[in-house]
Amino acid sequence: MAQRKLPEGLHPQTLAVRQAVQRSQYGENSEALYLTSGYVQSSAESQALRFAGEEEGDTYGRSGNPTVRSMEQRLAAMEGTQACMATSSGMSAIMLMCFSLLKAGDHVVFSQSMFGSTIKLIGSEFARFGVESTIVPQTDLDAWRTAVRPNTRLLFAETPTNPLGEVCDMAALAEIAHQANALLAVDNCFATPALQRPVDYGADIVMHSGTKYLDGQGRVMAGALCASEQLVIEKFLPVQKNSGMVLSPFNAWVVLKGLETLDLRMRAQSALALQVAQWLEQQPAVARVYYPGLASHPQHALAMRQMNGLGGAVLSFDVKAGNPEQARARAFHVLDALQVLSLCTNLGDTKSLLTHPASTSHGKLSEAQRQAAGIGQGLVRLAVGLEHIDDIKADLLRGLSTLT
Ligand SMILES: *Cc1c(COP(=O)(O)O)cnc(C)c1O
């Protein structure tokens, strides 16, 4: 189904509420949810043409759905890319990207601070199929540069990272990638297009977990790859069609509606996160706060330049402790004392969510890998939602003020 015809030059905020496929004959104002796995064909001849790719039109749910296309078109418009391919989750987006672009003998460079499952998927699972990889420190540009080899096809960065908010210089990474004839992919989960558009800095692929801020209310799992038409149509589409990592229409519809408020939510939640981060820095039980929006953050200037002057909505903090065992007990004490905020390993929700990375998202990494990523037992991650600032502080204080 064709794109809705809109005038040229509309702003991302407008496209976020307007870009979609054409309305049906009923003229619905809110985009329709097409829950169907198959499509009735008008004639055998037309069906044959559609299967041959010579006529536009849907045939089967694994190959396309108008609701999913609305979401893809909207997200592409917001990211400033020609096209987008939705997937069933963020990890399946990474799976699709790697499956589409890599073969045995190819090499990937990615950061040690990336999402735990990303490190496992590329560093371990794809290694079984002969894909080589080098893991580098997130912020060390020289390490990225020297890791590149003649067989390097892909540099994959996440900025800011989970859970420490480490930022990397996307323009510099794009230059390193392109000099080596490789592609730069950026996991834009934490910043979202409301704060940064990686293609503006030269990235070739923008990867999303739609499960996070794109949905924004913690309802569905989703993922996406935003890129050029050439990459999406020639590389991702054939693999997607045959592998079935497709996004369900219902989940696509939820994300589609979530995108309408993304800009507002990211601004409000980032502003709140900054207030919480500044307050946490003053708390005697807190050793250190990690948040790109704080002046104390090592890449604060770069983050502000790349992220539209905002730090995002995720921060982490270390509780003060003498040793790892005590640190773990103290972090657990803070989490167990919560009465309002959720103990929940997710982020990107209007509800504030807290978790203990060392025993959850990064629990399957070896202690050495965790140390390298700087994730100690006393670290608590807080994804700030939309509650009142005073209630957030009071809930955190329940545990923090009783630490001994
Ligand atoms: C959650 C997350 C993913 C994985 O997405 P899923 O939708 O959970 O599969 C990848 N990268 C980052 C940064 C994430 O936070």
User: Does residue 311 sit in the same domain as residue 228?
Assistant: no
Span from the CA of 30 to the centroid of ligand 1 (angstroms) = 28
For the cut 90, the answer to whether the pLDDT of residue 371 exceeds it is no
Mean pLDDT (the chain) is: 95
Mean local confidence (pLDDT), 201-208: 98
DSSP class of 291: -
Domain boundary among 244, 259, 274: 259
User: Does residue 237 sit in the same domain as residue 276?
Assistant: no
For the cut 80, the answer to whether the pLDDT of residue 73 exceeds it is yes
- How many domains does the chain divide into? 2
Tell me which residues have their CB closer than 6 angstroms to ligand 1: 89-91, 115, 118, 158, 162, 187, 189, 209, 211-212, 221, 223
Residue closest via CA to ligand 1's atom 11 equals: 115
Pick from 306, 311, 271, 301: nearest CA to 392:
271
Integer Cα distance of 10 and 77 in angstroms: 10
Q: What is the pLDDT of residues 151-199, one digit of tens each?
A: 999 999 999 998 999 999 999 999 999 999 999 999 999 999 999 999 9
For the cut 90, the answer to whether the pLDDT of residue 248 exceeds it is yes
Span from the CA of 345 to the centroid of ligand 1 (angstroms) = 11
pLDDT at 1: 62
Integer Cα distance of 249 and 67 in angstroms: 6
Question: Of 2-11, 259-268, 342-351, which range is least confident?
Answer: 2-11
For the cut 90, the answer to whether the pLDDT of residue 2 exceeds it is no
Integer Cα distance of 331 and 343 in angstroms: 12
User: Does residue 391 sit in the same domain as residue 253?
Assistant: no
pTM to 2 decimals? 0.95
Residue 332: which CATH number?
A: 3.90.1150.10
Pick from 278, 300, 309: nearest CA to 167:
300
Domain boundary among 219, 237, 259: 259
For the cut 90, the answer to whether the pLDDT of residue 258 exceeds it is yes
Percent of the chain residues topping a pLDDT of 90:
91
For the cut 90, the answer to whether the pLDDT of residue 215 exceeds it is yes
**Does 307 reside within a domain?**
yes
Integer Cα distance of 278 and 289 in angstroms: 8
Helix (H) or strand (E) holding 56: none
User: Does residue 274 sit in the same domain as residue 388?
Assistant: yes
Integer Cα distance of 91 and 95 in angstroms: 6
Please name the residue ranges forming H helices in 148-261: 170-179, 192-195, 229-230, 237-243, 249-259
Question: Which residue range is the domain that position 358 belongs to?
Answer: 262-400
User: Does residue 306 sit in the same domain as residue 386?
Assistant: yes
Q: What is the pLDDT of residues 99-119, one digit of tens each?
A: 999 999 999 999 988 888 899
pLDDT at 363: 84
Domain boundary among 259, 293, 328: 259
User: Does residue 51 sit in the same domain as residue 199?
Assistant: yes
Pick from 156, 167, 254, 249: nearest CA to 207:
156
